[in-house]
Structure 1
């Protein structure tokens, strides 16, 4: 039997068993080792705030439509950071260039389930690099999200960059921005995460609850403000403070998944008067100016290469490895006690 983690309603989690499905043509079967939980996007489905629960996304019109929900409870197999072992390949695929073989460890997206049936086109080139720890493969997607935000920010050597939110993706963005030549100020409301940010390359740290963040950033930059701010927490007041923190004509990359109305965001203030550039980064694509050379696939592969080369540390970000049978406890931890956790991983 296959085990699948599903949300049966807001803050309701269960692990159900399903019969093994036959492998259709053009697919691989992967036995899951680890599946990382997203503390941002995934928690919106867990909490019941995800816009797909009340509206439908029209991919042709590129608009959300009121009316029918795009997804409904139970939401089964949510998740996008998996790593596992190939156990079966559809026979007609034998010999396909770049295709993983049975026994290979691979990374990809097939959700919180003990096995995934994945189309071949999504697995070409997804064999785990030699020498890379298996658990590190679960960071391909979250690493790509951080990488995408850094590319969208168009950092130049020596620029001052503030990264708002020092969860897993924010810490990775801090490290990648530093590798890109920035002097990074890390901002978060949790002192423990700010301490971790120092190890990931932050030059300064500021506590969003106790520091006047924008004022402190301007003091540290001779009054001008940061060249760039990356907001990755998905909290509207943090986005507003990021807009307050950058220089005239500065850039703010909004990479969080913001929920509901923008309470705490006042676009008539510094955003308007300082002519700030507000840029959206979302992992459905890469910055338009880079689309000729970059892709989401390249983001993921390059991030894993950086991990393999020891330029980015992901191992120390894993705070909890929890058996999949106890998935409900993992979500309670992330939802109610975020100070105690960074990357929570389900083990199958």
Structure 2
């Protein structure tokens, strides 16, 4: 069967791989659609330290059950949690299996879903009547929704989100779904308008607006209760600490590509809760599906491009050359 494989940095091809044989407790799926994300782009560029080559990519999955069970019969539409957990590391023992020390994610540490058939453990499946396009958005949105959960966002909060890419949009949608007053910060007008459709009440264009003044104005001079960083730049890492209000909560999703210097006095003076956020938990998948079922996310606006499997290699190269030209890319199988 056909698969999209990275054979090395900057090298991608459609290859033939062996069809999977389902093990005990697994369900055979026909893959319908797979989303591309920043992890796939970094893997293509050779900048993902976790990947080894060759590797079939893809972990944002919409599929149909081919060989099911009583609980998940054949023909059921599903999305998939692409992570594993060992069950015995510190994270797993604390019930935070999303942060398993020995996690293996589809398309990174193990072959992914950009292929025709996939065999997956039944407990990683989330059945739904959502469209394949919607199901393909569930996993990327869970990453931002998990950050909102980490921040303990509720309806009393003012939440500022730096970055309106796919992950930032998930954080915005998650915060808005919990009733918070949500602020989107980005330097792209189209992304900001998509953020508005996802639930942002206030938009701040970071290259035209004075971000500090706008945040102070919106928050009555106190700063946001929560800042979620979904970009991964030293400037926005620092800005989160500088702009959040006293006793505020900061959640970092983005990876800064270089060392970050802080005025650590603010950590103590403001008595901040500073947290990382990684992957997602089952409740995050269920929350995203509820958001989509309620029509609370602009699916068509958020997806910029859908291509067939045969065009996926060329699409990856085009995306790498001009990443700002695309939002969410999906591959239809």
The normalised TM-score by structure 2 is 0.83
State the 4+ residue runs in structure 1 displaced beyond 6 angstroms. none
Q: Tell me the distance in 2 between the aligned counterparts of 1:236 and 1:143.
A: 24
Does 2:52 align with 1:72? Answer: yes
Q: Name the CA shift for 1:307/1:21 in 2 (closer, same or farther; >3 Å).
A: closer
2:74 counterpart (102, 110, 115): 102
Task: Report the aligned-residue RMSD.
Answer: 2.2
For 1:229 and 1:37, locate their aligned partners in 2 and report how far apart those are by CA, in whole Å. 26
**5+ long unaligned stretches in structure 2:** 83-111
| Cα distance in structure 1, aligned partners of 2:134 and 2:10 | 28
Structure-1-length-normalised TM-score: 0.79
When residues 137 and 184 of structure 1 are mapped into structure 2, their CA distance, relative to the original with a 3 A threshold, is same
Alignment partners' CA distance in 1, 2:20 and 2:183: 49
1:44 aligns with 42
1:64-143 map, 5 Å: 71-74=51-54, 76-89=55-68, 94-95=69-70, 98=71, 100-108=72-80, 109=82, 110-123=112-125, 126-129=126-129, 132-143=130-141
The answer to whether the aligner puts 1:15 opposite 2:14 as a matched pair is: yes
Counterpart of 1:299 (choices 272, 279, 284) is 284
Count of equivalent residues: 303
- What is aligned with 1:337? 322
| In 2, Cα distance between equivalents of 1:305 and 1:159 | 21
> Equivalents in 1 of 2:259, 2:208: separation in Å?
22
Change over 3 Å in CA distance of 1:275–1:24 after alignment to 2: closer
Match of 2:224 in 1: 226
Superposition deviation, residue 270 in structure 1 = 4.2
Q: SS at 1:32's partner residue?
A: strand
Distance change (3 Å), C-alpha of 1:122 and 1:171: closer
* Residue of structure 2 in register with 1:262 after alignment: 259
- The yes-or-no answer on 1:215 pairing with 2:213 is yes
Residue in 2 that maps onto 1:283:
279
Deviates most, 315-324 or 216-225: 216-225
CA distance in 2, matches of 1:121, 1:178: 29
Q: CA deviation at 1:17?
A: 1.2
Aligned equivalents of 2:292, 2:218: Cα separation in 1: 31
By how many angstroms is 1:299 displaced?
1.6
Report what 1:244 is aligned to.
242
Q: SS state of the match for residue 127, structure 2?
A: coil
